[in-house]
Structure 1
Amino acid sequence: MEPLKDKVAVVTGASKGMGRHFVAALVGSGMKVAALARPSPELESLAEAFGEAVATFACDVTDPDAVRCAIDAAAARFGQIDVLVNNAAIYHPFAFEEGSDALIRSHLDVNVLGLAWASRAAIPHLRRTRGQIVNISSESVRHPFPMLALYAATKAAVEVLSEGLREELRSEGIRISVLRSGSVSGGSGGESWSEETRKKFFAKIVQTGHAAMSGAPASPQSMARGLVSILSLPRDVSVDLVELRAAEEGVPEGARQQD
């Protein structure tokens, strides 16, 4: 039995990092995937890699009209939407007093409002299929990292919003789950960091002990398997929140360089 075969998922932030691994795992489980991300060669390469199982939709999640159009187009392309994976997010370390207006606003626009726009647009489609939303959160909700305080706050907002929507939509058969992720290797979130930012951040988390707390990063393939497991559960049960953290001791690569 293949519980996800021929179902349709929308994944935001699909072109790079964890989002790309989510796409691969969902296709591997038999699903069709609508991949949403900003325009890039990486986004277009998903269709080349997975053929007709994946359709790409260039979309900035901070633009509510663009999000609605992309999700409606995905439903038209595949005939339905069964799952929304709200994966798109940014995290950029900064000392809070030094954070620019644009940097602070971008975290809220992508991590909270982007998720809100995608969820709002997907709900009518999910109502028809009695579908599911999985919102990706972070272990930093429980242990906010220094220089990532705002990122942690946005993920806390994601979890509270998920809890409220879960109760609001339960009577309509729409399940809302949170996948709270620990440290994962091979992410793309740090690609835009300057070398100075990297050094300051990793030095700070070594100093505070957060580097050791996060452990040796898990593989993105393992985290993607966790997502598939959540989606594969029978309809009469729902995961409210699952936290998948690194099982092995260690520190991120950048922190090891501080020794």
Structure 2
Amino acid sequence: MKPKLKPLAEQVIVITGASSGIGLVTARKAAAAGAAVLLVSRDEAALARIAAELGDRASYAVADVGDRAAVETAAAAAVARWGRIDTWVNNAGVTIYAALIDTPEDEHRRLIETNYFGCVNGCLAAIPHLAESRGALITVASIVADMPSPVMGAYAASKAAVQSYVESLRIELEAAGTPVSVTLVKPSGIDTPIADHAANHVGGHGLIPPPVYAPELVADAILDAAVTPRRQITVGGGGRAQALFAEHFPRVFERLAPIAATTFIDPAKTQPQPSNLFAPARSGRERSDVNTGRQVSLYTAAARRPKLVKGVAVAGLAVGLLALRSSSRRKEA
């Protein structure tokens, strides 16, 4: 039996990290498309405001994704309200700006609890329900899962772990015949408040690593995967190019990366306090205070339409062969 994904207007969608950034944009877009949406985060006041804004088809559950029991309770809340879960989106995440040797252990462990175990807990809570609905399990990782990142090394390590977990889980579910579509979304730098919310031990104000894209592009990729089975989607061609460069030219990348990392900090500004590592902070915003994201990614648009791209490529090849053949005939004549 294979996954059978419903149109968005017929879906029940659970989104973690829904009180800001990518999660908030995705929730608003899903609700606008007619989906029932359960918002999950630690910030009850923000969740209540957002759910009221979205109307009767939205509800919320307060949960720290690092707490498996709380995540299970959130899943139960969705089922109690609507009878099922069709799509689950693991999106909650935090970050730290610091050299790895200067990263406080409690902060490092907290980041792993949220970013990695938050994904694990979401998957374990969601899979029994998604197997019944033949739905979609979507996890937001990052392009830094594919490359090292000085100053944001703890974040990169957590996202690499998320990628390995999700890819291994997909294999196991497929081998067991579990009808769940498993998608990994890997954004490039995205204009969200994650840098504003970060713990910062290098001074200045944390910035989103460039090139920076709009959160709507990630939300569109997530909702596309909710209705069309996708293995993996990278959002932002700039980030994909960086990852390929790191893979194929590792020694050069290692020399250039510390220079590039200077663009992750604005030394003229001060980091907002407190961070959201241990408690919610300044929720309710989709975008950062200091970045502006690109509204278009041709790479991501092409990746979401592989058949169209393949058709264009085949057509181009055919035209090229015809032109070559015509040229050859003229020469023979």
Interval containing the TM-score (normalised by the shorter chain):
0.7 to 0.9
**Structure 2: distance between partners of 1:97 and 1:196:** 11
1:185-204 equivalences under 5 Å are 185=191, 187-193=192-198, 197=202, 199=204
Contact 2:19 2:50 in 1 (8 A): yes
Q: Between Structure 1 and Structure 2, how many residues are aligned?
A: 241
CA contact (8 A) 1:177 1:241 kept: yes
Aligned to 1:84: 88
1:192 partner amino acid: H
* Runs of at least 5 residues in structure 2 that lack an aligned partner in the other structure: 1-5, 240-259, 269-333
Question: Percent same amino acid at aligned positions?
Answer: 26
| C-alpha distance in 2 between matches for 1:108 and 1:184 | 20
Which ranges of 4 or more aligned residues in structure 1 deviate by more than 6 Å?
A: none
Aligned partners of 1:103 and 1:159: how far apart in 2? 21
TM-score by length of 2: 0.67
Match of 1:222 among 200, 210, 217: 217
The letter for the 2-side match of 1:41 is A
In the alignment, the residues of structure 2 paired with residue 52 and residue 198 of structure 1 have an alpha-carbon distance, to the nearest angstrom, of 44
| Displacement of 1:158 | 0.9
- C-alpha offsets along residues 82-114 of structure 1, whole Å, 9 cap, x if unaligned? 111000011111111111111110111001111
Residue 256 of structure 1: how far off its partner (Å)? 8.8
- Greater Rg over alpha carbons, structure: 2
Distance in 1, matches of 2:27 and 2:202, equals 30
Match of 1:208 in 2: none
Rounded Cα–Cα distance in structure 1 between residues aligned with 2:17 and 2:171 = 26
Asked if the contact 2:97/2:201 (under 8 Å) is kept, the reply is no
Cα deviation for residue 161 of structure 1 reads 0.9
Q: Which amino acid aligns with 1:23?
A: A
- Describe how 1:95-110 pairs up with structure 2 within 5 A: 95-110=99-114
- Hey, what's the Cα distance between the residues in 2 that align with 1:257 and 1:162? 34
Distance 2:45 2:148 in 1: 33
- Name the CA shift for 1:198/1:29 in 2 (closer, same or farther; >3 Å): farther
**Pairs within 5 Å for 1:81-230:** 81-170=85-174, 171-185=177-191, 187-193=192-198, 197=202, 199=204, 211=209, 214-215=210-211, 217-230=212-225
Stretches of structure 1 lacking an aligned partner (at least 5 in a row): 206-210
What residue identity is the alignment partner of 2:235? L
Q: 1:155 to 1:201 in 2, by over 3 A?
A: same
Tell me: CA distance 1:166–1:92, structure 2 relative to 1, closer, same or farther (3 Å): same
Q: Distance in 2 between matches of 1:158 and 1:196?
A: 24
**Pairwise CA distance, 1:123:** 1.1
Contact 1:169-1:175 at 8 Å conserved across structures: no
Question: Residue 84 and residue 195 in structure 1: after superposition, are their counterparts in 2 closer, same or farther (change >3 A)?
Answer: closer
CA RMSD in angstroms comes to 2.6
Give the 3-state SS of the residue equivalent to 1:24 in structure 2: helix
**Structure 1 counterpart SS, 2:60:** strand
Q: 1:63 to 1:255 in 2, by over 3 A?
A: closer
Counterparts of 1:200 and 1:10, CA distance in 2:
32
Q: 1:61–1:195: structure 2 CA closer, same or farther, 3 Å change rule?
A: closer
The structure-2 alpha-carbon separation of the partners of 1:113 and 1:247, relative to structure 1 and needing over 3 Å to count, comes to closer
Deviation at 1:81, TM superposition (A): 0.1
Please tell me whether residue 74 in structure 1 is matched to residue 78 in structure 2: yes
Q: Secondary structure of the equivalent of 1:222?
A: helix
User: C-alpha separation between the residues in 2 aligned to 1:51 and 1:22?
Assistant: 15
Q: Give SS of 1:124's match.
A: helix
